[in-house]
Chain A
Amino acid sequence: DAMVIQNPRYQVTQFGKPVTLSCSQTLNHNVMYWYQQKSSQAPKLLFHYYDKDFNNEADTPDNFQSRRPNTSFCFLDIRSPGLGDAAMYLCATSLRVFGRNNEQFFGPGTRLTVL
């Protein structure tokens, strides 16, 4: 089945220690997104890629970076995690950003714990 895969499902890191979260997709979608979701809150868009074009949300902290080396993979790098960065990180894909085929397909998420 075509899907969005996130690794690892659970990640524990130390305060200030860089961490990378991984997302891959077999849907061949053009767009990949990273969301941060804290408990009882809405998923918050951090950034997205349309093909190789990177789009950062205005309020995404500089501590968060992303890479998309090819269509299938996208990475979220947190350079110096703070306690406030503990959250569920969701990866999603869509064929397009707008139009009929822009519904998002989500991965299972990575739960990040910062000690």
Chain B
Amino acid sequence: AQSVSQHNHHVILSEAASLELGCNYSYGGTVNLFWYVQYPGQHLQLLLKYFSGDPLVKGIKGFEAEFIKSKFSFNLRKPSVQWSDTAEYFCAVPSGGSYIPTFGRGTSLIVHP
């Protein structure tokens, strides 16, 4: 079965610091890779997704992710975080036999003002 690894479970940064959250998966993942975000007290929502084409994907609020097929990775980045980026971030990658994504366990990001 597909496994999705998010190596950083808890990340604490100061405002304006750069962010990179890792996401690795075990196989497949050639289409429809996702990052979802859950802000405090809110529901999960789409941050960005890769479907095809340019492996560097731009999302909302200045986030981007790079799909590196050879490394089975889809890392999330932001050059300068803000306090409002404090949230839980989930990577999701489809299993080989299904298009429905398997979620990673999430990374909790806290940004200090």
Chain A residues packing against B (C-beta within 8 Å): 4, 33, 35, 40-45, 48, 90, 92, 97-98, 100, 102-109
Contacts and interface: CB of A to CB of B under 8 A. Distances in A.
B74 interface: no
Given A102-B99, A106-B45, A42 B32 contact: no
A108 B100 CA distance: 20
A104 B46 contact: yes
Contact of A103 (B42, B49, B103): B49
B-side binding surface: helix, strand, loop or mixed? loop
Given A42-B4, A43-B103, A97-B99, A103 B90 contact: no
A46 to B, nearest CB: 11
A-side binding surface: helix, strand, loop or mixed? loop
B83 interface: no
A48 B100 contact: yes
B87 to A, nearest CB: 14
Nearest to A90: B44
A54 B46 CA distance: 25
Contacts of A45: 100, 102
Contacts of B36: 104, 106
Interface residues of B, number: 22
Interface of B: 4, 9, 31-32, 34, 36, 42-46, 49, 51, 90, 99-106
Nearest to A35: B103
Contacts of B42: 108
A109 B43 contact: yes
B90 A42 contact: yes
Contact of B105 (A4, A40, A100, A103): A40
Contacts of A103: 34, 46, 49
Contact of A102 (B9, B32, B102): B32
B5 to A, nearest CB: 10
Nearest to A44: B103
B7 to A, nearest CB: 14
B105 A106 contact: no
Contacts of A109: 43
B105 A41 contact: yes
